[in-house]
Amino acid sequence: MQNNILNRIHPPSLQPLRKALFPLVEEVKLNNGIPVFLIPFGSQEVVEIRLVGRGGKSFEQVTGVSGIATKMLLEGTKSYSSLEFARKLDEFGAFLQVDTGYEYAGLSLTCLEKHLENTLPLLAMAMLEPTFPEDEFTKLKKRTLQNLEVEAQKTSHVARQEFARGIFGDFHPYGSPITADVLEKVELEHLVAHHKRTNSAANFTLVISGKYNRDKLISILNREFGQAEMAPKEDFLPLSASLASQTPGQAQKGFDFHNMPDSMQATIRVGHKAFARNHPDYYPMQLVTTILGGYFGSRLMSNIREDKGYTYGIYAGWIGLKYDGLFVIQTDVGVDYMHPTLKEIRFELDRLLQDGTNEDELDLVKNYMLGKAASAWETPSQIAEVVTNSVIGELPFSNIDERFDIIQAMTVEDVSDLARKYFRPDELLETVSGAHREKQD
Amino acid sequence: MSKINFSTFYLENGLKVLVHEDHSIPKVVLDVVYKVGARDEDPSLTGFAHLFEHLMFGGSRNIPQFDTPLQRAGGDNNAFTNNDLTNYYISLPSNQVETAFWLESDRMLELDFSQKSLDVQKSVVIEEFKQRYLNKPYGDAHLILRKTHFKVHPYRWPTIGMDISHIEGATLDAVKDFFYGFYAPNNATLVLAGDITLDQARRLSEKWFGPIPRRELKKHNLPVEPPQTEARSETVYRDVPFPAVYKMFHIPGKNDPGYYPADLITDLLSHGRASRLYQTLVIEKQLVSSVRAFSWGAHDPGMISLDATLAKGVEPAQYDEALAQLLEEVQELEEAEVVRIKNAIETHNILEKTTILNRAVGLAVSDAQGDPDLINTAIDNYLKIPVDELKESARKILAPSNCSTLYYMPNHAK
């Protein structure tokens, strides 16, 4: 019987890793010069279109204006009221979402190929002809303020906000919180000015992925976007860029406690400032941070969840933003586990700094990261997301595939060197929001 | 929309195997669904099926750690438990597929029943309970209302369990009983999707899952929820800034043709910014700051849940009145509105099948429901519903006598 010879003790032999290549990206220009990145992809007639403008938080002249300004793009256009616009989208089974980041803001349209003829005009209208009706603005602002009041009761919200503020400071777009006080001061005229300034056609980029007829698509794009007036491109820098060249270290370090007396869990965020996304050590530090807390078998997860049971999950990230970055460990733990968890976090960070890694662990993490990356390019939406991030970060597309070689080439010594170079245990900010308990060891 | 093609075969021990081939990317998903969920739990030990799911990662008879060898093979995995079933999936590069067979078959063969693993996972699940339900404003609303809405059926508790004390009470003996009573090849379906051939799937399934013995399954009859005949309501006071109102309506089970109109009505009420709830309650009357409805479809009769946070200064009675009127007005439904909702469902149906993982999970849960081909046929059950049938369904389901309400009030309103 086959049964008798089946070896269940030893794993089946592993096959060599295959390198996945990102699909080719084609750049075309519309008649007025708007750049379009095309990535034909997939077997279903689905198309994802990202329209990226510059209306992000780093371009604000009035704090808090960007998020609500982007949302208002769907609240009325020259041709349609908010409701008519929503019905038109539904009529063609299309989904349109708004997204506001630090250096960009934009719209993503997802629809079936057969409806492009009808849905692309809606996308164009939202960005080129929004009317910012007063009534819709007043209601949206009121709802947002109320939602903020609910959010403020969540330990996760408070910790996220206070940690970012601690790392980047109150006046940095990456750090300044959107509180009720901030939002109260935002008026309709600020939105209109923000939109006009940041979302002129000269600032647009389009990223499109899916299964479509290329010529037909380009002709619709030229009709809807290719005639928009290209005002001279304003050469203004985002605030994040001007601050990046002058900020010294981070604003705050040490234990930063926010008492929320009735909470059952404490949210913990521990970390410090890091570097921008275009730094040459960005991918190497992804690997180092993955060892620490980037996957289910990571050191933090193995210790704090799988051995101690303090939390449902704990994660570490090395986050590269366009002009700066941060290292952050985040978790939610029972309030009695707050200090024991902080102690174990320090223990694991110190252990990585002192002892580095070994061949076995390094090999495992490399395979995990490369396997995961290779299987993450499966839908037009995922593909468009990757390209959009490159566009926003002004990174060459070759950078997408380079990660495989960079990560594959890492050695045990590299991990130790990088950990010692970039982790700074003396500068950790430990932000905790939750109910107060006596310190215990 | 191209059809999701699949082949079916059975092993001698009763394991059903479904194979969906797609060689467009070098990735394969191995999914196992066990036909056991929170509805199969002892009412004094709720949350057990989900706790058990956690233990499935704590090592099996021949393999001390589940995740490590998989990560070494460049794979990733996860699992979920719902009230009807428990589903495990592994996705990995297709040239490493045998690692997934080795891992998944060993934990079907037998778990390493360890006290340490049980103790740690109890603690992890208790933290999960707090994170998802207890440590945020309004987080326990559904937990409370389920108990009022379902009187006898085990859907009266969610998969996380009714209470933290139930999780604390789980013993190693109970873990063993559960495993041998429900985790058997003859109570599971194996789905292979992606870059794998039928021959390969057959050979590897026989090799790794074939030797696992068939087991005698624990059988029990689930109580049938009696029809609700009058409106129910309850009120709780908590430390929250605004009143919120939660309503649940009984709907038919997913194998009843009446499920589809019920689900479509939910979309009509709540899908997108043109929906009735949003337009009437948020925009026009400004009675709520947020509102949503979703249908919770299950194998046995489930529910529609309709949740609203009231706008500052609004009283629950004002909301109730406006909502009652809105639900009445569903009877004035027009064809164009239904067409719009059907179009959204069509797009969504295509989008959710773009990844191999979603197709594998879709086949697995459809099979657990009774027919794997539902992954292809369900869409037509939505598209063919005539307007009249929707009205009739809405009249029955949205009736006040079919509804339970929870008023979730701020302490200061006492």
The domain locations on chain A are 26-243, 253-434
Do residues B284 and B340 both lie within one domain? Answer: yes
Instruction: State the residue range of the domain holding B115.
Output: 7-209
Select the residue of B130, B279, B356 nearest A334 (Cβ to Cβ). B130
Residue A313 has pLDDT above 90, yes or no: yes
pLDDT digits (tens, 9 = 90+) for A359-379: 999 999 999 998 888 778 889
Residue carrying structure tokens 């007043």: A138
Do residues B115 and B198 both lie within one domain? Answer: yes
Residue A247 has pLDDT above 80, yes or no: no
- Whether residue B227 is contained in a domain is answered as no
The secondary structure element, H or E, covering residue A48 is strand A46-53
B162, two tokens: 């009714």
- Whether residue B189 is contained in a domain is answered as yes
CB A38 within 8 A of CB A26: yes
Per CB-CB distance under 8 Å, the chain B contacts of A209 are none
Do residues B203 and B274 both lie within one domain? Answer: no
Nearest CA in chain A to B91: A375
| Min Cα–Cα distance to chain A from B231, Å | 29
- Whether residue B224 is contained in a domain is answered as no
Do residues B172 and B242 both lie within one domain? Answer: no
- Whether residue B238 is contained in a domain is answered as yes
Residue A388, chain B, CB below 8 Å: the answer is no
Do residues B196 and B245 both lie within one domain? Answer: no
Residue A229 has pLDDT above 90, yes or no: no
Do residues B189 and B299 both lie within one domain? Answer: no
Q: How far apart are CA B66 and CA B103, in angstroms?
A: 7
pLDDT < 50 stretches in chain B: none
Domain end point (choices B152, B175, B209): B209
For A375, residues 6+ apart whose C-beta sits below 8 A from its C-beta are A20, B25, B27, B76, B91, B92, B93
For chain A, what is the radius of gyration of the CA atoms?
Answer: 24
**Residue A236 — pLDDT band, cuts 50, 70, 90?**
confident
- Put simply, the answer to whether B347 touches A368 (Cβ < 8 Å) is no
Determine the pLDDT at residue B393: 97
Q: What CATH number is attached to the domain comprising B160?
A: 3.30.830.10
User: Helices marked H in A24-154 — which ranges?
Assistant: 65-71, 82-91, 116-128, 134-151
**Residue A440 — pLDDT band, cuts 50, 70, 90?**
very low
State whether residue B295 is helix, strand or coil.
strand
Select the residue of A18, A91, A154 nearest B93 (Cβ to Cβ). A18
Determine the pLDDT at residue A3: 47
- Put simply, the answer to whether B274 touches A295 (Cβ < 8 Å) is no
**Residue A248 — pLDDT band, cuts 50, 70, 90?**
low
- Put simply, the answer to whether A153 touches B106 (Cβ < 8 Å) is no
A235, two tokens: 């050469």
Do residues B163 and B264 both lie within one domain? Answer: no
| Min Cα–Cα distance to chain A from B86, Å | 19
Q: Of B320 and A244, which is predicted with more confidence?
A: B320
Tell which residue, A23, A156, A134, has the closest CA to residue A75. A134
Do residues B266 and B317 both lie within one domain? Answer: yes
For an interface test with A, give the residue of B65, B77, B127 to mutate (most A CBs within 10 A).
B127
For A48, residues 6+ apart whose C-beta sits below 8 A from its C-beta are A108, A109, A110, A208, A209, A210, A379, A380, A381, A383, A384
What kind of architecture, by CATH, is found in domain A253-434? Answer: 2-Layer Sandwich (3.30)
B307, two tokens: 């949740």
Do residues B181 and B246 both lie within one domain? Answer: no
| Min Cα–Cα distance to chain B from A110, Å | 9
Residue A147, chain B, CB below 8 Å: the answer is yes
Q: Compute φ and ψ for B231, nearest 5 degrees.
A: -60, 145
pLDDT digits (tens, 9 = 90+) for A79-93: 999 999 999 999 999
Residue A420, chain B, CB below 8 Å: the answer is no
What is A26-243's CATH number? Answer: 3.30.830.10
Total domains present in chain B: 2
Q: How far apart are CA B38 and CA B34, in angstroms?
A: 12
Per CB-CB distance under 8 Å, the chain B contacts of A333 are 127
Residue A441 has pLDDT above 90, yes or no: no
Determine the pLDDT at residue B219: 82
Q: How far apart are CA B51 and CA B45, in angstroms?
A: 11
Nearest CA in chain B to A21: B25
Average pLDDT of the residues in A407-436:
96
A309: left (phi over 0), alpha (psi -120 to 50) or beta: left
Per CB-CB distance under 8 Å, the chain B contacts of A21 are none
Do residues B266 and B145 both lie within one domain? Answer: no
**Inter-chain contacts counted by CB atoms under 8 A, chains A and B:** 218
CB B258 within 8 A of CB B252: yes
Beta pairing partners, B285: none
Q: Compute φ and ψ for B372, nearest 5 degrees.
A: -60, -25
> ipTM of this model?
0.93
Select the residue of A17, A307, A378 nearest B356 (Cβ to Cβ). A378
Q: How far apart are CA A4 and CA A13, in angstroms?
A: 19
Tell which residue, A131, A45, A75, has the closest CA to residue A380. A45
Q: How far apart are CA B108 and CA B209, in angstroms?
A: 8
B166, two tokens: 């139930």
Do residues B333 and B385 both lie within one domain? Answer: yes
- Whether residue B215 is contained in a domain is answered as no
